[in-house]
Chains A and B, each alone.
Chain A
Amino acid sequence: MARRTLLPELLRHAVLVLGAAAMVAPFVVMVAISLKPPGEVFAPQFTLLPQQWHAWENYRDAFTKVPLARFLLNGVLVTACIFAAQAATALPMASALAKLRWAGRGWAFALVVLALLIPPQVPAIPLYIAMWQLELLDSYAAIILPSTISVFGIFLMRQFFRTVPDDLIAAARMDGMSEFAITWRIMLPTAYPPLAAFACLSFIWNWNEFFWPYIAIQSEHLATPPLGIAFFSNVEAGTSWGPLMAAATVVTAPLALAFLVAQRAFVRGVTMTGLKCPPEQRRPPPCPRSPAAAFSPRRCSPHRSTPGPRRAAWS
């Protein structure tokens, strides 16, 4: 029995390890180069660790030759504003699309889904002209305003809100809540996991966004991190790869951190969206057999501690 399942298991893990290695490799190279002196970067023999440590110099240069701290601060400010605006718009819209009955709701939702298909580059020129006419080009507002409404956010939250039981909304109405109060006081507290997933995605997208800030921003002091790196490579291209990779590492680190912190909620939010189970099972999330259970042993302990029939059969 055990021998028969071992081989496919090994194969599966081998494939996963290969895939993971392919994904992680560029980051490993990035971190490795950020630790090396200029002479070792293009050495014929690639080594993970430098023969001569140059980390301090590289990271110091990254922060001193260009205002990297400023770029990071810009990034935090812009992504925070964008997410706040996206949540403030997406939650009521999703709530209305999921739980209110009004003429044209089907069409409105179709438009939302349709808007998901439009690549962000398409409206770039109209947006640019609009920003120019509003005299907002080259400002934080120019980066933030076009992203304030996220159709993806509306879609994601609407899918989740549909699983909130109708009776709960009806009870809130009878208790005297307005529709807005229902969104903020009833729907939102049950929707933290998908909201955290959306926050994570929104942060990653807008932190990494290069195309639109590159068009809208000219001043170095307004640059977001990817734009800052681009400035960096323009200034330093070809000469100092070490500091450039150090800057790239610093810029990437918040994303990795954010994902690690939000991972539990993230996985739960993504797996729960569109999933329909009875309220007793869905709250508190997650469902006993959802993949998220692996990430949240504490929440799941009542389910996991009960010895299932399968486990009993094995022992």
Chain B
Amino acid sequence: MASVSLESIGKRFGSTPVLHGVSLEVADGEFLALLGPSGCGKSTLLRILAGLEGCDAGTVRLDGRDVTELPAKTRNLAMVFQSYALYPHMTVRGNIAAPLELRRLSALQRLPLLGRALPGTRAIRAGIAAEVAQVADSLGLSALLDRRPAQLSGGQRQRVALARAMVRQPAAFLMDEPLSNLDARLRGEAREEIVALQRRLGATVIYVTHDQAEAMAMADRVAVMQAGRVLQVAPPQALYDAPASLEVARFLGSPPMNILPARIGLGGRVEVEGVALPFHAPPCRAPRLGVRPEGFALADGGLPARLARIERLGAEAILHAALGASGAVVTVRVAAEQATGLAPGQALHLMPRAAHLFDEEGLRLPLHATLPQPAHD
């Protein structure tokens, strides 16, 4: 396995820039997720790393070696595609063996009949067959080796694609939304399977996805991309707890974070809609306060609001409430039992317990809770 390093990668398609100087470091054995909305350039970045696409600027390094100009086949990276890209005319066995045959057998030895007669072919083929059997066994594909991809279910195809990537022990695995064609239940299983596999092999994995739950659940670190830029790279919890910018804060979390225009009042006290909140911040022009839905508490004091709608989701409930002065709608996540007595139209008070402050450029500002916090509940 190898470390991967991308240095200020730039790429344009025609006159449209898709990547603006993207830099990323992935350590040996690390699971990094590239998370972003579709069209943000994450797949292009992965294809540049794979060598399937050239880049206009920057350097790609594998284990410190510059591979920017090398073609895909010499980089020793394996890729798992969203469509699995299995060879439709080959059996599962043929699909898994293909990368090994291409590497270990010469063009002559690969010839259908003549190849078998050449010295050495038999031994190499036996070695390949043994490795294919071993990998197939580890992924539970042994019974399917003689089937063709068209005869497999989505989950089975996905495992064949994984097996084809694993079999040649690549320097790193590149995965391009490998689970997005599976149904929800299978996706959960496959998620665990891939993570377990990565831990077992100690593999370097770069995993492209637009599904934040997938990225958060699987990755050691998540790189959030938007419009051809990497906004933040951090472990999942750090990303959620301390988003570096408004864009990251908005992108992560479901329902998304509530963003409220704020003011720094006397003594550095943060005010929203004229209500002083228990937070302190340095002076700043046009700051915005971000509060996650679970960051609000129903209290006696705080922001006055009127309940507009309740979504009951079983274990929890999402409240949609219009703030008193501006009418801006915020979402609040509460435990189901807290929502039992509530009805639309009811007046509430919302007290932010945890919040994030961003300046007018959308960058994170330090925010301190005022101590001691007034005992509202």
Across the interface, name the chain A residue whose C-beta is closest to B71.
A173
Task: Count CB-based A-B contacts (< 8 Å).
Answer: 66
Alpha-carbon distance A171/B47, docked complex (angstroms): 11
Q: Does B98 contact A (CB under 8 A)?
A: yes
Given A167-B81, A279-B83, A283-B150, verify A173-B88 contact (CB < 8 Å).
Answer: no
Q: By the criterion CB–CB under 8 Å, are B88 and A171 in contact? A: no
Shortest A302–chain B CB gap in Å is 9
A189 within 8 A of B: yes
Q: Quick one: which of A170, A176, A177, A283 contacts B88, CB cutoff 8 A?
A: A283
Contact with B along A185-216 (1 / 0, CB 8 A): 01001100000000000000000000000000
Q: Which of B5-33 contact A (CB under 8 A)?
A: none
Annotate A283-295 by CB proximity to B: 1 below 8 A, 0 otherwise: 1100000000000
* Nearest B residue (CB) for A281: B150
- Which residues of B sit under 8 angstroms from A175, Cβ to Cβ? 73, 98-99, 102, 164
The main secondary structure of chain A at its interface with chain B is: helix
B224 part of interface (Cβ distance < 8 Å): no
How far is B98's CA from A186's CA once the two chains are assembled, in angstroms? 11
Task: Find the B residue at minimum CB distance from A284.
Answer: B150
**Are A176 and B73 neighbours in the complex by a CB distance under 8 Å?**
yes
**B89 to A176, Cβ gap below 8 A?**
no
Set of chain B residues within 8 Å of A190, measured between Cβ atoms = 88-89
Which A143-198 residues sit within 8 Å CB-CB of chain B?
A: 165, 167-168, 170-177, 181, 186, 189-190
Name B87's closest neighbour in chain A (CB-CB).
Answer: A186
Contacting pair A177 B83 (CB below 8 A) = no
B8 to chain A, nearest CB (A): 24
- Whether A177 lies near B73 (C-beta < 8 A) is yes
Could you mark each residue 36-53 of chain B with 1 if its beta carbon is under 8 Å from any beta carbon of chain A, else 0? 000000000001001110
How far apart sit A172 and B81, CA to CA, in the bound complex (Å)? 12
- Residues in A whose Cβ lies below 8 Å from that of B277: none
Asked if A173 and B52 make an inter-chain contact with CB atoms under 8 angstroms apart, the answer reads yes
A172 to B52, CA, bound (A): 11
Looking at the assembled complex, report how far the CB atom of A199 sits from the nearest CB atom of chain B, in whole angstroms. Answer: 18
Distance to closest chain A CB from B2 (angstroms): 15
The reply to whether the CB of B79 lies closer than 8 angstroms to some CB of chain A is yes
Q: Tell me if B82 counts as interface (CB < 8 A to partner A).
A: yes
Complex: A172 Cα to B84 Cα, angstroms: 12
Chain B residues with CB below 8 A from A167, complex form? 81-85
Interface residue? B285 (CB, 8 A): no
Chain B's closest residue to A169 (CB) is B85
Instruction: Name the distance in Å between B96's Cβ and chain A's nearest Cβ.
Output: 11
- Docked complex Cα distance between A133 and B296 (Å): 91
- Cβ of A170 and Cβ of B89 under 8 Å apart? no
Residue in B50, B83, B84, B149 whose CB lies within 8 Å of A174 = B50
Rounded to whole angstroms, the CA-CA distance of A144 and B84 in the bound complex is 43
Distance (whole angstroms) from the CB of A196 to the closest CB of chain B:
15
| B170 closest partner in A (C-beta) | A174
> Across the interface, do B88 and A284 meet the contact criterion of CB distance under 8 Å?
yes
Q: Across chains A and B, which 8 residue pairs bring their CB atoms closest together, nearest first?
A: A189-B89, A171-B85, A167-B85, A176-B73, A176-B102, A283-B88, A175-B99, A167-B81
24 sample A-B contacts, Cβ–Cβ < 8 Å, listed by A number: A165-B83, A167-B81, A167-B82, A167-B84, A167-B85, A170-B47, A170-B50, A170-B52, A170-B81, A171-B85, A171-B86, A173-B51, A173-B72, A174-B50, A174-B51, A175-B102, A175-B164, A176-B102, A177-B102, A186-B87, A189-B87, A189-B89, A280-B150, A283-B150
